[in-house]
Amino acid sequence: MKRIPYALSNFERIRTENYLYVDKTHFIEHIENEDTQYHFLTRPRKFGKSLFLSTLDHYYDIRHKDKFEQLFGDLYIGQHPTQRKNDMFVLNFEFSGIDTSSINDFNISLLEKIKMAVIFFITDHRDFIENIDEAKDNVWKMEKASTCIEYALDVAKNHSKKVFVIVDEYDHFANDMIAAGRYLGEENYKKTVWAGSQVRDFYETLKANSRTVIDKIFITGITPIMLDDLTSGFNISNNLSIKEKYNDILGFTKDELEWIIRECGIDKSLINIDVEYFYNGYLFAGEAINKLYNPTMIFNYLTELRDNNGRIKNYIDYNLKTDYGRLRRLISKGNNKEKLSELIETKSVSAKVIQRFSIEFINDYDNFFSLLFYMGLITIDNSSPFRQRLKIPNYSIKTMFWEYIEHIERENNPDLFFDNSKIINTLETLAYDNDAEPFLRYFQENILANLSNRDMQNFNEKSIKILLLGILFQSNLYLPISELENSEGYCDIYLQKKTIYPANYEWIWELKYIKTADSENQALIAEKKQESISQLQRYRNSNLFKERKDVRYLSTVFVGKKDCLIEEI
């Protein structure tokens, strides 16, 4: 039984300590067959980028030569090795955690990162360098990125070897800017990446040496946000990000997941959710066939499943959650909030994936949704061959949006008061006393009633559902699912039991909303109520629920901000 490598990205450790490894090494052969040897790849956070880079490091670096058979022997590339295996010096850079609090702090922090990378390079290749301590001291005294890089490249030149440069998290500082807004506007950003900057110096040095000692370059990050700004400094890269043949380079296909379950000894009878609905759905090229599972999501679930014998506490990996600050900053400009609302309400949008754009134009319609695509918050919807659409990939990402909306509503409406203890009490009443009224009354009286009239102008049933889901998801008692498909339509809200604290019943809620202006229209209220009841009756007879005795059905009609009509059928 293989160990599950959750949050582990060291290739050698995975291969030597009985961890599971999904063989992606055939892509090494594909990459070598590209016309250029300088490559760029984006993928969302926690999608396996660092492990793939570690695989490249162990395959190409001369220092791992004696371990080739042990590490690669039973993998594709071990049985089909290329001429360049373990024939280069690998120089690794990783740019996460750079201080972006000021331009000066940024420059100091970036230079320190580059120095540390070169010092690790020297230490890793100590067999080829005399006077190691003196060499490291010399690097630490250097004042320019280019000088540090040239020093490392000279080591390879002196031994007639080529260098493979790896740059991980190339855009991390730019994404930090978007998230936290620490820079004081676009002018400061320009100072970090435009002509004369240390970032530009770094990439221009790589480009200049690609004519001589640097044989390969592989750069990864989350977004292409800096590509436009680095064009003249580094315009030799081949963007693999949305090419069809590299769709599966990271992440797991359905067949790979089946293999993972077998290799890890997972009892499939313990799986009590639709793992495809929860964790699958990523597509990075519209023409690609395989939709992908996020590796960290699926490893988190399988680890909990195996360790707790099927009793899952957290179906969603909280380490994956995009911080609210990043989304808040994105929607603070222009009409981005309306764009995001369109996405959440309609579940998909018509937009193009842009391969490169500057931070200056991040709020343009296609750029905005492209950024969400690269962040892994939306993905390509290839259900229609006639138009390109983008959609939320899976349930895990939907919950992030729901929580975000609930969070932002609190910020925008300071009068909203959420007493979490009372919410928990009402949800326990729902789960164990089979009574939904206390929760819905609390929601109507303490949340809806306190929304401003301005917020209510464009309010509708979907608005209520999003607010409800943001609150319901915080419960350990249910997994709330929006628009669950069945043979008779789509349920507004389906409350599925969790295994850790199982409720007595599951629930299906059908939501209706009547504007305040129509609150005295009894005929309309009766019509909406009957419409809701009819839909619930159809769901009860659907393919999913007609044999179920543990599901209850609730009609809920909200009348403006002041009333909530509830009827169980």
Question: What are the tokens at 275?
Answer: 């793992």
Contact in structure between 145 and 110 (CB atoms under 8 Å): yes
Residue-level pLDDT at 147: 95
Question: What are the tokens at 99?
Answer: 């201080």
Residue-level pLDDT at 328: 66
By C-alpha distance, which of 202, 191, 176 is closest to 93?
A: 202
Residue-level pLDDT at 232: 60
Contact in structure between 279 and 297 (CB atoms under 8 Å): yes
88-94 vs 162-168, strand pairing mode: parallel
Question: Could you tell me which CATH number the domain at 23-246 has?
Answer: 3.40.50.300
Contact in structure between 4 and 19 (CB atoms under 8 Å): yes
According to the 3-state scheme, what is the secondary structure of 305-359?
A: HHHCCCCCCCCCCHHHCCCHHHHHHHHCCCCHHHHHHHHHHHCEEECCCCCCCCH
Cα-based angle 490, 494, 500 (whole degrees, multiple of 5): 150
One-letter amino acid of 405:
I
One-letter amino acid of 59:
Y
- The secondary structure of the chain in percent helix, strand, coil, rounded to multiples of 5, reads 45, 15, 40
Residue-level pLDDT at 557: 96
478 DSSP β-pair partners: 497
Topology, domain 413-568: Trna Endonuclease; Chain: A, domain 1 (3.40.1350)
How far apart, in whole angstroms, are the C-alpha atoms of residue 427 and residue 5?
36
Determine if residue 540 is left, alpha or beta; phi over 0 gives left, psi from -120 to 50 gives alpha, anything else beta.
alpha
Question: What are the tokens at 295?
Answer: 């590796």
Residue-level pLDDT at 119: 96
Residue-level pLDDT at 191: 77
Residue holding tokens 């016309």?
Answer: 35
**Which strands make up the sheet holding 563-568, listed edge to edge?**
478-486, 489-497, 506-514, 551-559, 563-568
Residue-level pLDDT at 324: 58
- Sorted by where each begins, the domain ranges of the chain are 23-246, 254-319, 321-391, 413-568
Residue-level pLDDT at 182: 47
By C-alpha distance, which of 292, 98, 276 is closest to 193?
A: 98
Per residue of the chain (569 residues), what is the pLDDT tens digit? 999 999 999 999 999 999 999 999 999 999 999 999 999 999 998 999 999 999 999 999 999 999 999 999 999 999 999 999 999 999 999 999 998 888 889 999 999 999 999 999 999 999 988 889 999 999 999 999 999 999 999 999 999 999 999 999 998 888 777 665 544 456 677 778 777 788 989 999 999 999 999 999 999 999 888 877 776 656 778 999 999 999 999 999 999 999 999 999 999 999 988 999 999 999 999 999 999 999 999 999 999 999 888 888 888 887 776 655 666 666 666 677 777 777 877 778 999 899 888 777 787 889 889 989 999 999 999 877 666 899 999 988 888 887 777 777 667 666 666 677 888 899 999 999 999 999 999 999 888 888 777 667 778 888 888 888 888 887 788 999 988 888 888 999 999 998 888 899 999 999 999 998 898 999 999 999 999 999 999 999 999 999 899 999 999 999 988 899 999 99
One-letter amino acid of 436:
A
